A = this chain, B = another copy of it.
Amino acid sequence: MDRKKLVVIGGDAAGMSAASKVRRSQPDWEIVVYERSPHTSYSACGIPYLIGGIVEAASSLIARSPETFWEKHQIQAKTRHEVEKIDPKKKRVMVKNLATQRTGWETYDYLLIATGTSPIRPEIPGVQAQGVFSLSTLQSGILAKNYVTANQPKRAVIVGGGYIGLEMAEALLERGLSVSLIDRNEQVMGTLDKDMGLLVSHYLEDQGVQLFLEESLTKIQTDAAQKVCAVETDKRTLDAELVILGIGVKPNSELAADAGIQLCDSGTIAVNDRMETSEPGIWAAGDCASSRHLLKNKDIFISLGTVANKHGLVAGSVIASEKATFPGVLGTAITKFKDMEIARTGLSETEAVALAIPYQKTTIESSTIARYYPGSGKITVKLLCRKDNGLVLGAQIAGAQGAAKRIDTVVAAIQGKLTVQDLVYLDLAYAPPFSGVWDPIQIAARQLV
């Protein structure tokens, strides 16, 4: 029997889902996963809720531990092991055991790179101070939570108004901190158009977040104990005992680049729809690998657990000699801040303009469910379609409970190449506790027809 050996670099969503898929298809293969952090398969998206205390135990964010992977799936998940070099010619990787600091070569038949991302940390004075956190790994989340518990900060500054920024703002408000948010753009939520981002900005302010837009962080001030005590922007100084950096992440692709593997302009590892890199026998998956944007028709960098899992499933299938292809992404995203849900998919107006795609747009206001039914709330939907043929291009939603997950209908519509006319007559589900007779998505579509 031909017993192959799969080595996976990175033990989170993409890596472990690929490893699990290979195990299901190839019960006899040797599968080894190297993970430099102490944890496997955790929900990075849950970290803000851990710090906010909405989720109590860090352990509840871990889907499966290394022990479980071994006992149930005979997958060796070696945490605190860092891969330092890939040698594609000799089909081997150099691995350092971070506990013992010992280094050695390990061979592979198949290699999957699933190294994820690292948070971008601005090169400004004081960024290494205690009390400054960028949340990427579960470990960083635990450290931040412990810091907050131990130091009981009163004032927090969040830098960056993206998903992490909003979720952390909610978490810290819940804990009773006063929260300021700095963003260098005109609005928070840069993946939304300005008009939709404005709705979110207003709501943040309503709920007590102090917004400082079109400002950039320039310095972090520290006290004698090297703890953060204030931040400076290009316009002002804000006292703060806690700083959260949510200004984005970058793909961990240096290891691949050093091995001669081709990267994309976005810095991700270039892969085809089978997740194969430029180097035979080496796959890449998850945040570090490129994704094809179905409407932009180019490879983009996207950092999302759901995409990582799909990458992993495809990579694992192909490695195990099964047929699978990853069709691409639409840039779908969803988040909430207190009672406002926010979602987007496909092209924003800004993106349609940049791509010179002829488009029509509308923005409607409606109610999440029948207006007379208790719990009904406001929902705003911005919908875009092609001007020439009516094909749905994208949507942005902001609204009360039940608003945002409606984006999935638009996702399926785009992927199924439906027009706004089709959307109008889609047989969507209606009953008063769930929707008006015309779903808000359809009200927007009617405007466009």
- Interface residues of chain A, those whose CB is within 8 Å of chain B, are 13, 43, 45-46, 49, 54-55, 60-61, 163, 294, 304-307, 309-310, 313, 326-336, 341, 343, 345, 370-374, 402, 404-409, 411-413, 415-418, 422, 424-435, 437-439, 446
Contacts and interface: CB of A to CB of B under 8 A. Distances in A.
A370 B416 contact: no
Contacts of A446: 313
27 contacts: A43-B370, A43-B437, A45-B430, A45-B431, A55-B374, A305-B430, A306-B428, A334-B431, A335-B431, A336-B434, A404-B429, A404-B434, A405-B429, A405-B434, A408-B428, A408-B439, A409-B412, A411-B426, A411-B428, A411-B429, A412-B412, A412-B413, A412-B416, A412-B426, A415-B426, A416-B417, A416-B422
A330 B424 CA distance: 14
A141 B418 CA distance: 39
A74 B365 CA distance: 25
A309 B438 contact: yes
Given A309-B437, A330-B427, A333-B431, 13 more contacts: A45-B431, A54-B373, A54-B374, A55-B373, A61-B372, A309-B438, A310-B424, A334-B429, A409-B411, A411-B426, A412-B413, A413-B416, A416-B416
A163 B432 CA distance: 12
Contacts of A405: 402, 405-406, 429, 434-435
A46 B373 contact: yes
Contacts of A304: 430
Contacts of A43: 370, 372, 432, 437
Nearest to A302: B427
Closest 7 CB pairs of A and B: A416-B416, A412-B412, A334-B429, A306-B430, A60-B372, A330-B427, A408-B409
A404 B405 CA distance: 11
A402 to B, nearest CB: 7
